[in-house]
Amino acid sequence: MSAQSTPTKVDATPGGPGQGPSPDGLKAGLKNRHLSMIAIGGVIGAGLFVGSASGIAAAGPGILLSYALVGAMVVFVMRMLGEMAAANPTSGSFSAYADQALGRWAGFSIGWLYWFFWVVVLAVEATAGAKILEGWMPAVPQWGWALIVMVVLTVTNLASVSSYGEFEFWFAGIKVVAIAAFIVIGGLAVFGLLPGSGHEATGFANLTGHGGFLPNGPGSILTGVLMVVFSFMGSEIVTLAAGESEDPQRAVTKATNSVIWRIGVFYLGSILVVVSLLPWDSKAIAKDGSYVAALNTIGIPHAGEIMNFIVLTAVLSCLNSGLYTASRMAFSLGRRGDAPKAFARTNARGVPQAAILGSVVFGFVAVFFNYKWPDTVFQFLLNSSGAVALFVWLVICFTQLRMRRIILRDNPDKLIVRMWLFPYLTWATAAMIGFVLVYMLTDDAGREQVILSAAVAALVVAIGVVKHRGSKAAVTEG
């Protein structure tokens, strides 16, 4: 039975290993190694490489506490999402669960807001990648590179879900290997054990030697939180992709259980190396970026070009996953009657072609806005989608509070992953996210993002409420 005719049910999905096409038409083409790397790479965005310098400048070594706080928040949110996704893996993920637990308006609203977030991200990442490529090959203009990158990844996503998985496997693999190598090499240099390096052993002296661990005061931890929170967006992608995997429950369970070490190693581990190798107030961090400055200080040649290559892979990974994520959310919305019916159709290869093309068209429009009106129209798009990540996490919290009861009532044997200290930790996480949103109002850039994002969210919620009230009225009259 289709999702349109049973509004309170989430999408049908494959329920076990070795499945072919699922009941919703998607093909289970993602292998376990694809899902594993998507889960690992999902928490490593380009923002980690290029955005950490401003966080270090604001909070000093205390930025580690900022990353730890946001990391804990993401771990808790992923645990909640993992509980729901292991019980019912679906291409709509949290949007489909909100649909069932909170109401049709909630699934409609958060689904479209999440889709909007990712099509704007497509433009941001395409432009970032184009700048790097233009620096290497200036004969092709920046807009040309953005077009090429978008077209190539669109073709990849249209080919098959396994093509997306394969590209993401290698993109994420490069990121993972690069950060792991950075931590090992940097860690050896910190203690003066790196052969051939002229860097003096500093141990952890730099963590307290330049004004203390919190040189700008305890309040800088929260300032740092605002700067790093959005670099974690993307960790939830694995729960959307699980519905097209060989063994969805196993993939979600494994990804949820491993999120703690992934965040601990890749974020906290690499940032700890940076602030241990260099004083937090080093001009090199602001000038070259935190990772390039760290590589330069231990004598790694061509550090800038190496990091540009790694950032490019991170950008392409984000683009690839962004297009996949936006299209699968559009597909799920179409399945539930909340988007054009064409979005819910799949082709012979099990790919939602219309949903992919519809998402990429809006991505191209956003790229155009970025080149034509970067400081007006595109800045508005950025700000009006800026706080959506936090809205999504907040909705996941409230959804899980209701879904736990639904799962226990209908399918208690599917409660494989459980949120810790339920419901207290769920409420505490919701409070943490709410506090971050309120604190953003004290920051000039954050205030604009929260206000514009809230305005867009209110508009989408209003449309959702009116739409589904109208649908109920039509059913009643019929």
3-class state of residue 245 by DSSP: strand
- Residues in the chain, total: 478
- Predicted confidence at residue 190, as pLDDT, reads 92
pLDDT at 1: 33
pLDDT for residue 255: 80
Q: State the pLDDT at residue 75.
A: 92
* Positions in the chain short of pLDDT 50: 1-21
140 phi and psi angles, rounded to 5 deg: -95, 125
Residue pLDDT, tens place only, 415-444: 999 999 999 999 999 999 999 999 999 888
Cα 222 to chain center, whole Å?
Answer: 21
Q: Residue 6's pLDDT is what?
A: 35
Nearest alpha carbon to residue 47 among 258, 373, 375, 290: 290
Closest CA to 404 of 386, 385, 422: 422
Tracing tokens 């297009």 back to the chain, one arrives at 323
Entry pTM:
0.88
Cα–Cα distance measured from residue 310 to residue 439, given in angstroms and rounded to the nearest whole number: 33
**DSSP-H helix ranges across 373-420:** 377-385, 388-410
> Which residue type does 167 have?
F
Q: What pLDDT does 471 receive?
A: 66
Q: Specify the pLDDT at position 20.
A: 47
Query: 461-465, long-range: CB within 8 Å, 24+ apart, which pairs?
Result: 461/105, 461/109, 463/108, 463/109, 464/104, 464/105, 464/106, 464/108, 464/109, 464/112, 464/338, 465/105
pLDDT score at 14: 40
**pLDDT of res. 15:** 40
Return the amino acid letter for 350.
G
pLDDT score recorded for residue 270? 92
What pLDDT does 217 receive? 92
The pLDDT value recorded for residue 19 is 43
